[in-house]
Amino acid sequence: MKTTTRRLAAAAMAASAAALMAACSSTESPEASSTASADASASADAVADAFPVTVDTVMGEVTVESEPQRVVTLGSHEHEYLYALGVAPVAVPVSWQGYDYGTGPWAIADMEAAGAEPETFEPGSTTYDAELIASYEPDLIIATYPNHTMTQEEYDLLSQIAPVITRPATDSEGNETVEWGVTLADELTELAAVTGTSDKAETILADIDAAYAEVRDAHPEWEGLTSQVGGYYEGQAFVYAASDTRNQFLANLGLDVASIDGTSDAWMQISAEQLDTVLGDLDSIVWQVATTEGSQEALEALPLFDSLNTTAVGGNLWQTDSILEGAFFANSPSSVMYSLDAFVPMLEEALDGDPATEIEPFVSDAA
């Protein structure tokens, strides 16, 4: 399936169309200009009509009285959601991968389209610097995917600065949400509601759903196959919880990620002695080894690694590209599309059941 080629072609067509529109703008007729102005006015009215809006978050109901003009984000990917919605935050946390504007290359097009050039700041690993956040004069603070669990004290303090949006209290099916496990759809829907961009969110989600469905339709043989996302940390293998956004990505492709009865925590470490007990029957494992030096070699050297079913059937997928690792973690609209183009060819090779099939690792253009 040539998903990468198809999306690159679509991107090229979009760029050509944008260039043509720019070339024609200087000769636009008065009638066309008047129509454009009317459309812009109608759009602004629609946004204004969306407020006040109240959302039910895990920290309680929060009301946003009017369209926010100065948004500050506190987590690792919320700004990418806002870019996709056409919203330009004024300040975002620094990138854990060191990218300018706190933003990976997969989200730059959305950032530029939103006209965003945010300041970046260190969010703090254990507590938020309320004085620093206040210095940006926000009228909305967003922490739906925070770098640490927000305490009630922190929430109350930040709420004195501006309304604070944390993750939704419940998901689309009415179940309580878990930290770092909210679906893209639920998070985007909430952020769209508080920024007056719900129509854009519906379009984005329809496009993402269609992209996932395209892959599922092309690979009905994947349905029911088991998979997990894991890695190596402090001398032990680990896997993420089924609710983790990376496992959500695999589930959206039709794979079963709930086969490990694990933990309520975000991830579960696995001792070398339990490796085959916990992971033995999986059809595939996406091993994230890009940013932990020597982790692939350490995993392959574990005494029971060769006894895994994934080793027998060639289902160990080594994710070695640091940019893809960042995109896979981000789980934003732009990063999902990036990850689809990167992962699908590798999964096609990992899930063919033939251990002789060589999985060609994805290498980003910037690598």
pLDDT digits (tens, 9 = 90+) for 55-77: 999 999 999 999 999 999 999 99
Q: Specify the pLDDT at position 34.
A: 61
> For the residues 44-54, what does the mean pLDDT come to?
82
Using CA atoms, how far apart are residues 211 and 337, in angstroms rounded to an integer? 8
pLDDT for 7 = 42
pTM score, whole prediction: 0.86
**Helix/strand number for the chain, H first, E second:** 14, 12
Query: 318: which 2 tokens?
Result: 């080594």
Look-up of token digits 């909430």: 190
Please, which pLDDT band fits residue 136 given cuts at 50, 70 and 90? very high
Cα angle for residues 354, 359, 363 (degrees, 5° grid): 170
Residue 11 has pLDDT above 50, yes or no: no
Question: Greater confidence, 191 or 40?
Answer: 191
Confidence of residue 12 (pLDDT cuts 50, 70, 90): very low
pLDDT for 36 equals 52
Reported residue count of the chain is 367
pLDDT at residue 156 greater than cutoff 50: yes
Q: How many CB atoms lie within 10 A of CB 94?
A: 15
pLDDT of residue 17: 39
Closest CA to 215 of 365, 24, 34, 348: 348
When comparing pLDDT for 125 and 218, which is higher?
218
Q: CA 284, CA 318: separation in Å to the nearest integer?
A: 11
- Structure confidence at residue 16 (pLDDT): 39
**Is pLDDT at 303 greater than 80 in this prediction?**
yes
* Average pLDDT for the chain: 89
> Which residues are registered as beta bridge partners of 91?
72, 119
As to burial, measured by CB atoms within 10 angstroms (0-12 exposed, 13-18 middle, 19+ buried), residue 230 is buried
Domains of the chain with CATH codes: 50-205 (3.40.50.1980), 219-350 (3.40.50.1980)
| Band of pLDDT at residue 37, cut at 50, 70 and 90 | low
**Could you tell me if 355 and 309 are in contact, meaning their C-beta atoms sit under 8 angstroms apart?**
no
Query: Is pLDDT larger for residue 137 or for residue 36?
Result: 137
Tokens 């959500």 found at = 248
Alpha helix (H) ranges present in 253-308? 275-279, 295-300
pLDDT for 259 = 74
Going by pLDDT thresholds of 50, 70 and 90, the confidence category of residue 10 is: very low
Judge whether residue 48 has pLDDT over 90: no
The backbone region for 281, taken as left when phi is positive above 0, alpha when psi lies in -120 to 50, beta otherwise, is alpha
Tens of pLDDT, residues 240-254: 999 999 999 999 999
> What average pLDDT score do residues 330-354 get?
97
pLDDT, average across residues 310-337: 97
Rounded mean pLDDT, 137-151:
95
Q: What is the mean pLDDT of residues 187-193?
A: 98
The reported pLDDT for the residue numbered 205 is 98
Question: Between helices 322-330 and 245-252, what is the axis angle to 10°?
Answer: 90
Query: Rounded to 10 degrees, what is the CA torsion of 90, 93, 95, 101?
Result: 10
**Whole-number pLDDT of residue 126:** 87
CB-CB neighbours of 345 under 10 Å = 16
Whether pLDDT at 45 is above 90: no
Rounded Cα gap, residues 98 and 115, in angstroms: 21
Query: What is the residue whose two structure tokens read 């204004």?
Result: 48
Does residue 355 have a pLDDT over 80? yes
